[in-house]
């Protein structure tokens, strides 16, 4: 027996669509507000349809159609440089935002780089690293470097001989740029890092069977996270030697402490 009249069915359908769209909009607003809070020096304001930069320019925020998403996937290319989609925000794909902030190509990024000597008190000029000055990232990395020097020497082996910083390149096997391209990322000692792809090749296994693994002490992770650097050990596709500046993914708690505020990759599969 059918208990629902056509009018009731229509009402239920409307409520389902309304609750879904409200959810999408509120989710997006949270991500946009985080973006504004994360980059106050560069972003003037955000609305659910646009990001306004302090230089007066605007990014449109759009909901991609299925066809649009498919075309982007086929081209393996980004969309117009002055737009970002809701899907990008939800999947932490901020490439256009990063290009706007740090430089659209290697030449532009290089103009904003400086050399810092990693853990200079401990290692002198042994480890020069190129990092960007945008968003005060060079100063943040110097503070991280000083804090790591103050740890007991038993920790130093994890952070000496760093794997690198600036390097204009795509993420391995992916069509998008690595955070290293913008001078906002550092790899610590690769000898102690675990990378999902290496583990996959070693085990000749499916990724779904890989258990999260880590050798890096959390004391080191916390020092980076307090300055707004996200640890690659928090990704589903883990990379435990990797840290990148992503303040929009942290929430500010009491005092000057920042705390990582969620899990990455929940909404997105690769």
Where does this chain bind Zn ion (CB under 5 A)?
187, 242
- What is the nearest approach in angstroms of Zn ion to the Cβ of residue 161? 14
Q: How far is CA 264 from CA 68, 86, 90, 243, 250, in A?
A: 24, 16, 9, 14, 12
Let me know: does 233 contact 243? Beta carbons within 8 Å.
no
- What is the nearest approach in angstroms of Zn ion to the Cβ of residue 219? 20
User: How large is the C-alpha radius of gyration of the chain?
Assistant: 21
Specify the residue, 178 or 222, whose C-beta has the smaller distance to Zn ion. 178
Specify the residue, 187 or 227, whose C-beta has the smaller distance to Zn ion. 187
Specify the residue, 24 or 264, whose C-beta has the smaller distance to Zn ion. 264
In DSSP notation, 70-126 reads HHHHHHT----TTEEEHHHHHTT--HHHHHHHH-SSHHHHHTTEEEEETTHHHHTTS
Specify the residue, 95 or 187, whose C-beta has the smaller distance to Zn ion. 187
Place of tokens 């675990």: 194
- What is the nearest approach in angstroms of Zn ion to the Cβ of residue 28? 28
- What is the nearest approach in angstroms of Zn ion to the Cβ of residue 235? 11
- Spatial separation of the C-alpha atoms in residues 106 and 113, rounded to whole Å: 11
Q: How far is CA 154 from CA 118, 149, 220, 245, in A?
A: 17, 11, 12, 26
Specify the residue, 88 or 187, whose C-beta has the smaller distance to Zn ion. 187
Closest residue by beta carbon to Zn ion: 242
- What is the nearest approach in angstroms of Zn ion to the Cβ of residue 243? 8
| Structure-block tokens of residue 100 | 């706007």
- What is the nearest approach in angstroms of Zn ion to the Cβ of residue 165? 9
Specify the residue, 9 or 191, whose C-beta has the smaller distance to Zn ion. 191
């Amino acid at each position: 027996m059918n208990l629902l009249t056509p009018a009731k069915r229509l009402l239920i359908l409307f409520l389902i669509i309304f609750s879904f769209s409200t959810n999408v909009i509120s989710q997006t607003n949270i991500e946009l507000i985080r973006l504004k809070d994360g980059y106050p020096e560069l972003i003037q304001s955000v609305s659910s349809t646009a990001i306004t930069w302090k230089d007066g320019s605007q990014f449109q925020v759009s909901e991609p159609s299925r066809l649009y998403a498919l075309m982007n996937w086929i081209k393996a290319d980004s969309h117009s440089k002055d737009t970002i989609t809701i899907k990008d925000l939800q999947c932490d794909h901020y490439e256009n935002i990063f290009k706007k902030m740090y430089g659209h190509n290697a030449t532009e990024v290089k103009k904003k780089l400086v050399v810092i000597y990693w853990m200079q008190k401990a290692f002198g000029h042994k480890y020069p690293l190129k990092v960007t000055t945008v968003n005060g990232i060079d100063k943040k990395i110097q503070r991280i470097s000083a804090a790591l020097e103050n740890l007991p020497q038993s920790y130093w082996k994890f952070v000496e001989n760093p794997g690198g910083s600036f390097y204009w390149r795509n993420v391995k096997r992916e069509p998008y740029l690595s955070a290293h391209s913008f001078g906002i990322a550092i790899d610590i000692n690769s000898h102690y890092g675990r990378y999902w792809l290496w583990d996959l090749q070693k085990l000749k296994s499916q990724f779904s069977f890989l258990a999260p693994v880590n050798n890096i002490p959390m004391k080191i992770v916390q020092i980076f996270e307090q300055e707004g650097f996200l640890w690659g050990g928090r990704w589903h596709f883990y990379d435990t030697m990797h840290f990148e500046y992503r303040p929009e993914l942290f929430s500010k708690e009491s005092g000057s402490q920042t705390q990582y505020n969620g899990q990455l990759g929940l909404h997105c599969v690769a």
